[in-house]
Structure 1
């Protein structure tokens, strides 16, 4: 288990009360990696107190508040389980369905099991509408493989974790990054509950920041917008140049107006087109800097091994088969 936390002292007693019986009932060896994201309340001290009575609880503390996704990354990189489940501390995503997620992964032979919020009636109208708009936009930009209403409550296999650890992402958004890897997946639906205690750590400004990070990390659409605006503006400028010439021929202009009008429009149109072309090349540089594999190999009949990824430039060795066979 990986649980990012920031100022969650109010919810920790409820979290431990609900989570520990669920994990104990699985009858498997487990570990809970609680990542404190630079909390300023009693989160760390309360976790340390519970760790004395709960030996499976491990507390990882970041030196400063680095953000939810960064804390989640720290936990995923330190988790050592065959299966890893990420869960928010607010208990809006019920830990009671972890057993169902693990069973789905084993029986269906998948590497990812998404917790999908089938019912969000407990959320505010604003929250539901903004979430719907976010997933609609992301599915248009990233692709239809993105599960709608799936947040950061998911189960990942060791193969997926090893790939995530090797990707050169500085600011990963896992709800988009994990589906983009193409691992076989399943879904478990549940009713989203109200926050068990405390206050939300995702106000409007953080939701906007998440939307921007998602769009900037997985799409060059903002750069291509400059291209389309530049081409549209250039065509409009050409039409206005024709209008200016017609007005000049008709004698409906004052001396010097036509030449100034045409010159300004022509230069503006050329500048906008050049800006769009610059955006196209910056987008390609951006994609190259990300250094993501161009494709991921699921299996090879020649050797029967599962490879976690490759690219056509010979960098396949960087994504060697993950440790441990699937079973």
Structure 2
């Protein structure tokens, strides 16, 4: 493989004008280094995916693509969310790339792990996960909730790679299998392990965000976790059934206890126990309906089969076509 293989680095962007200069600089240096080592071809690309940004993100991508031969971009017609933008980039780049790496634009994931991923690919791995070797940059709350999430997903039978996000390398074959999964409720961290093929891990230290603000506040993180749970397991519904049987068992025990107390003449006013029972059962019922409603809502969005993303402009394909004509 002396001539190397074509690599595309997909970078989803949403209002990232503050960090794009540095991201482009660092990723360009990585690509040029790999090209010089003849591990990848000179036609390898950085593919920025503008996910409906409201700032100057797309203008910067367009400018960089004209000034830098390895930079290209894809502009989505509106905001489709981080997972949708990732999928749009993978769909576009995997058509003619031998391998695709996905990484966020904020530079928290160490770009120096990319050469290690490339080496793993050259050694036969078709999926290479970027895995954090520590969570020192996270708050205690985020560390503990992340640990609980991975443990809970494992309890539900969902195979995830702990401490890995959406920083990974996938071969063209692995990308094609990934794209054959047609669900609209995207949770790529759960879908990618289902792809199979030989996989490996590359460990790195996660950094502080270079600039700008996180696009995943607590509210979005909770929604992301709920999507992950309900998209890959029906265990919560089974747990509701178990909870229902448990409450029925408790009610039978209380009924027997009440009859015994009545026979013994120890009947007392039951206002407190009655109110507690009503509120407790009401809460359980509302939670149960909400969980079931979450699944029904996902079915509703899946059966409509709306596009998972819509591309407005595609600099990557234009550049690739021009290079092929030379």
Distance 1:180 1:173 in 2: 12
> What TM-score does the superposition give when structure 1 sets the normalisation length?
0.75
1:113 and 2:128 equivalent? yes
Q: Does the residue aligned with 1:26 lie in a helix, a strand or coil?
A: helix
- Bigger mean CA deviation after superposition, 200-209 or 6-15: 200-209
State the Cα deviation string for residues 133-184 of structure 1 (Å, max 9, x = none). Answer: 22222222234x4221001000011111111111121021111111133332
- Residues matched between the structures, number: 274
- Flag structure 2 segments of 5+ consecutive residues without an equivalent: 1-8, 36-41, 304-326
1:101 and 2:117 are equivalent in the alignment: yes
What is the CA-CA distance between 1:29 and the residue it aligns to? 3.1
Structure 1 unmatched ranges of 5 or more: 292-327
Distance across 2 between alignment mates of 1:153 and 1:18: 16
Name 1:311's counterpart in structure 2.
none
Which of 9, 15, 40 is matched with 1:7 structurally?
15
> By how many angstroms is 1:202 displaced?
1.1
- Aligned pair in 2 of structure 1 residues 290, 177: CA closer, same or farther (>3 Å)? farther
Compare relative contact order (CA 8 Å, sep 6+) and give the higher one, 1 or 2: 2
Partner of 1:47: 61
RMSD: 3.1
TM-score (norm 2): 0.75
Q: 1:112·1:184 contact (CA, 8 Å) conserved in 2?
A: yes
| 1:92-241 equivalences in 2 (<5 Å) | 92-107=108-123, 109-143=124-158, 145-241=159-255
Equivalent residues of 1:3, 1:88 under 8 A apart: yes
8 Å CA contact 1:113–1:156 kept in 2: the answer is yes
Q: Residues 5-47 of structure 1: CA distance to partner in whole angstroms, max 9, x if unpaired?
A: 0010000010111100111222253122211111111101111
User: What is the distance in 2 between the residues matched to 1:230 and 1:179?
Assistant: 33
Tell me the CA shift for residue 82 of structure 1.
1.1
Contact 1:151 1:175 in 2 (8 A): yes
| Among candidates 89, 98, 108, match of residue 75 of structure 1 | 89
